[in-house]
Amino acid sequence: MGYAHPVPDRVPAETAPVSGTGRRATERHCHTGVVQRSAVRPSPVFLGLLLLTVGGGFLATVEGDTARQAGVFVLVAAGWVVSLCLHEFGHAIVAYRGGDREVLFKGYLTLDPRRYTDPVLSLVLPLLFLAIGGLPLPGGAVWINRHALRSRAVCSSMSLAGPIANLVVAFLLAVGMGILTPDGSLARGAAVLDHPVLAGLSFLATLQLAAFLINILPIPGLDGWGALEPYLSYEARKFGAKAQMWAPFILFAVLIAVPPVNEGLWYAVSSIYDAFGGNLSLASYGQDLFFFWRSF
């Protein structure tokens, strides 16, 4: 899920797998805490996702319900994949600064979604869960060599960096919506219908908040557990290693099947988004446009 997986404890740091490198390359860059400019270079795939997101926004401005709905769907779906990349990049950049130089050679700093585990976990499942249940399933995790990290605090920071990336995106989108609608006029009447792009971005912001709240839960397989794991006993960590593959799916089943739990999540999302200055009416309209098939 969104959990930045450690290399298992039984694997010594010096024998932890390194993609496309040898030990000498890893040791040469170790523990400087400095991010080389050439290390962070957005891939063409990530830039293409950004262009696709922008393209969805342009399509949403075209006359007609079909174009508007299709545009918002593309805007939100592509924007969500972009945020998945930023989430995993957050894990990777903190790990890189904290001592794990292997993330550089694995391509985690390129923001290329193909580098993050596999296409099914990273892209297909999150988009499927989003389309079916409106829930932001975390994408496939990056693999971090925790033996290379300097301290338990760095390990915890690395785990929290992904959800914080979602929170930052949500905050920036909410602030942007507040700037573009300063008088609150879009909260009334049919005015929201004239702003499908703002509606789509507002809905995307609420998805970021939901992803943040879900990911910080201390459940095996999620980043909240990863933040606590360095301070847990061996038995607890062993349990987490076994449970991390199925525990998040049980959580999502509960969120989908138990209305009070689902409502509690979205109440928290709405409260935070409103506190950030976001426009809930726009977010609601964006949700309706994204799930256009529900109106049939």
Chain-centroid distance of CA 187 in Å reads: 28
Cα–Cα distance between 28 and 170 in angstroms, integer? 37
Cα–Cα distance between 183 and 155 in angstroms, integer? 43
Degrees to nearest 5, angle at CA 243 with 155 and 213: 60
- Verify whether residue 88 is a known catalytic residue: yes
Chain-centroid distance of CA 112 in Å reads: 14
State the DSSP code for 143. Answer: E
Cα–Cα distance between 19 and 39 in angstroms, integer? 15
The contacts of residue 152 (CB under 8 Å, 6+ apart) are 230, 231
State the DSSP code for 38. Answer: G
Q: Please pick, among 14, 88, 102, 263, the residue that the annotation labels catalytic.
A: 88
The neighbouring-strand residues paired with 6 are 144
The total number of residues shown for the chain amounts to 296
Q: Supply 162's token pair.
A: 């992904």
Q: Is the separation of the CB atoms in 169 and 208 below 8 Å?
A: yes
By annotation, the residues acting in catalysis are 88
